[in-house]
Each structure stands twice: as structure tokens, then as C-alpha cells.
């Protein structure tokens, strides 16, 4: 069984963001980078399928981005992926979901993957498009928003999460693509021995130019900070003072202490 997992590196969302010189994306310097949260569930699910197959599966982890994404890919390898494919692209942040999906589909097209896992969405772009687009480009069934996953007899049974806590049980035969929602599983922490082992795993670099055959369909006019719409009172200072102030506010502004 051949499995592909697509992962993206994103900034820590608690970072102080700045806008880049062209005004169309955030400035990439001085940010802490990590694996897109949704993609951790994708990696974990791929590795669990491999384990379920008694190891009889080969898991490729793929990421498009500048050199720094290799750091994150090593984490995926330490979690149990077998090999990495880094599609070197210093301009990946300028591409739209259609272009990113096209690159992945171009790579995966002739490889015969039985299962492809992606995150539901990336935390910085949040388009929730790439996974489903890749499936459509490759003419595979896509099960999106999975919070539960089982595989038996060539059939994937997933639970799609709907609004309000409801779920839909859906099935598709492999080959198929699954987009992973938060809570699908419990992503493992790489252990030290596995981190060491990961260093020896193959991490191939490909040039994006060889795989990119399309143009963006979207144009970013600008990126900016939203106007603060009011927002409330901001209290800063020593904890004891803050607690006193909050008690006063609860007394003055609410009826909960009455």
C-alpha cells in the first residue's frame, strides 16, 4: 500500500505578525514555524494505517515550500513516515490553492498512491481547498472533514463532522483522499530514537519548476490588519490588581454577583 501525506508549514498563530514589503502576505522573518495543526492529524492517520497493515505500507510525506519546511518534514519522518519529498519553492506563499493542488497532483499523478491524506485547511491561508482539489484533479473520491477513520477490505469508512456536533458516516473504496479535521486521532510525539532514525530517512528535493504547469487563478490585492472594531477594555499589570479590577467590573457591569 502506498500512502501520501501533504503537510504545510505555518507560523505559530500567537506570533506578532507584520505585513511584507509588497503588502500582500505576512513577513516571514522572525516567526516561529510549525506543522499546520490539521496536518499533524493527517500524518498520524497515515502512520496508523501503516501500523494496521503490519508495516506493509510506504508513507511519503510531501511539502511545498522554502528550505525551512524540511525541519517540519523531519518531524513527520520521526512520527513514522518513510520518506519525504520536498518540493522546493521559495514562492509557495504567493501561490493560490489551485496552484498548490496542481503541483501536488502533478507529482502524485503517476505514483499510484492508494490513500492520500491532507489537512482540512491550512491555518494561515485557511482555504480548505487543496485536499479536495487534488482528489478531483486525480479523479479520486474525497472524504472531507474526517473526525473518525477506519479502513477494512479496501473500504475507508469515515465520519464527516457537520455543524452542531452531528456527523455523517461516509464510505469510499481506495484509492481515495481524506481531509483531516481536528480531533481525528491523537498525534504522537516523536521519540528520541525515532528522531535519530528519521535522520537517515530519504528526504528528496524536487524543483517546483518541474511540477508547476499552471498560473494562479486568484490575485491578492493586499493583506492588512483588520480595523479594531471597538474591542473592550484592556487590563494589564500585576495579577492581584487585575483580580481586584475584575471583581469591581463584575459588580458594576454585570448582575452575576448580586
Partner 1 sequence: MKALLIGEYREGKLLASTYELVAFARKLGAETAMFLVGGEADLPRYDGTLYLADAAKHGEFSPTAHKRLLLEAVAREKPDTIVFSHSSYGWDLAPRVALALNAAQVSEVVDVVDGSLVIPSCNAKLRRNLSSTTAVTVVTLQSGAFGLDDEPAGSPALERVDVEATRGPEFAGYEVADKTGVDLTKAQIIVSAGRGIGKAENLEIVALLAAALGGEYGASRPVVDAGWADHNRQVGTTGQSVAPKLYVACGISGAIQHLAGMKKSDFVIAVNTDKDAPIGEVADVLAVADVKQLLPALTERLNSL
Ligand X SMILES: Cc1cc2nc3c(=O)[nH]c(=O)nc-3n(C[C@H](O)[C@H](O)[C@H](O)COP(=O)(O)OP(=O)(O)OC[C@H]3O[C@@H](n4cnc5c(N)ncnc54)[C@H](O)[C@@H]3O)c2cc1C
Q: Which residue in the set 10, 12, 14, 155 belongs to the binding site for ligand X (CB under 6 A)?
A: 14
36 binds, among partner 1, ligand AMP, ligand X, none (CB under 5 to 8 A by kind): ligand AMP
Say which residues have a Cβ less than 8 Å from residue 138's Cβ, sequence separation at least 6: 105, 108, 109, 116, 177
Q: Which residue in the set 131, 175, 187, 190 belongs to the binding site for ligand AMP (CB under 6 A)?
A: 131
Q: Tell me the per-residue interface mask from 25 to 64 with ligand AMP, x by CB under 6 A, - otherwise.
A: -----------x-xx--x-------------------xxx
- DSSP secondary structure string, 116-134? EEEES--TTT----HHHHH
Contact between 216 and 97 under an 8 Å Cβ cutoff? The reply is: no
Identify residues 102-131 at the interface with ligand X (CB under 6 A): 120
Using CB under 6 A as the binding rule, whether residue 6 contacts ligand AMP is answered as: yes
Q: Which is nearer to ligand AMP, 70 or 239 (CB)?
A: 70
Using CB under 8 A as the binding rule, whether residue 129 contacts partner 1 is answered as: yes
Residue 258 to residue 255: CA distance in whole angstroms: 5
Identify residues 191-220 at the interface with partner 1 (CB under 8 A): 216-220
Using CB under 6 A as the binding rule, whether residue 65 contacts ligand AMP is answered as: yes
Say which residues have a Cβ less than 8 Å from residue 123's Cβ, sequence separation at least 6: 10, 13, 36, 37, 38
110 binds, among partner 1, ligand X, ligand AMP, none (CB under 5 to 8 A by kind): none
Using CB under 6 A as the binding rule, whether residue 128 contacts ligand AMP is answered as: yes
Helices 69-79, 192-199: axis angle to 10 degrees equals: 120
Which residue do the cell numbers 503490519 mark?
54
Amino acid at each position: 500500500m502506498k500512502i501520501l501525506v501533504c503537510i504545510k508549514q505555518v507560523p505559530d498563530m500567537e506570533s506578532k505578525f507584520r505585513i511584507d514589503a509588497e503588502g500582500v502576505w505576512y513577513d516571514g522573518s522572525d516567526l516561529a514555524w510549525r506543522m499546520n495543526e490539521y496536518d499533524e492529524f493527517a500524518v498520524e492517520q497515515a502512520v496508523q494505517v501503516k501500523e494496521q497493515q503490519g508495516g506493509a505500507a510506504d508513507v511519503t510525506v510531501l511539502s511545498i515550500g522554502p528550505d525551512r519546511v524540511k525541519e517540519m518534514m523531519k518531524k513527520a519522518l520521526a512520527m513514522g513516515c518513510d520518506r519525504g519529498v520536498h518540493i522546493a519553492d521559495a514562492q509557495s506563499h504567493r501561490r493560490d490553492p489551485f496552484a498548490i493542488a496542481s503541483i501536488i497532483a502533478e507529482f502524485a499523478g503517476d505514483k499510484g498512491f492508494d490513500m492520500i491524506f491532507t489537512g482540512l485547511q491550512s491555518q494561515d491561508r485557511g482555504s480548505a481547498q487543496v485536499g479536495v482539489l487534488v482528489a478531483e484533479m486525480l479523479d479520486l473520491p474525497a472524504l472531507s472533514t474526517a473526525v473518525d477513520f477506519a479502513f477494512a477490505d479496501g473500504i475507508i469508512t469515515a465520519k464527516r463532522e457537520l455543524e452542531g456536533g452531528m456527523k455523517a458516516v461516509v464510505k469510499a473504496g481506495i484509492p481515495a483522499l481524506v481531509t483531516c479535521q481536528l480531533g481525528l486521532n491523537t498525534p504522537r510525539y516523536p521519540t528520541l530514537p525515532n528522531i535519530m532514525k528519521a535522520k537517515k530517512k530519504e528526504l528528496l528535493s524536487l524543483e517546483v519548476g518541474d511540477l508547476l504547469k499552471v498560473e494562479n487563478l486568484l490575485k491578492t490585492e493586499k493583506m492588512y490588519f483588520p480595523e479594531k472594531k471597538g474591542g473592550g477594555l484592556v487590563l494589564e499589570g500585576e495579577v492581584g490588581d487585575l483580580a481586584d479590577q475584575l471583581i469591581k467590573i463584575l459588580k458594576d457591569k454585570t448582575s452575576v454577583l448580586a
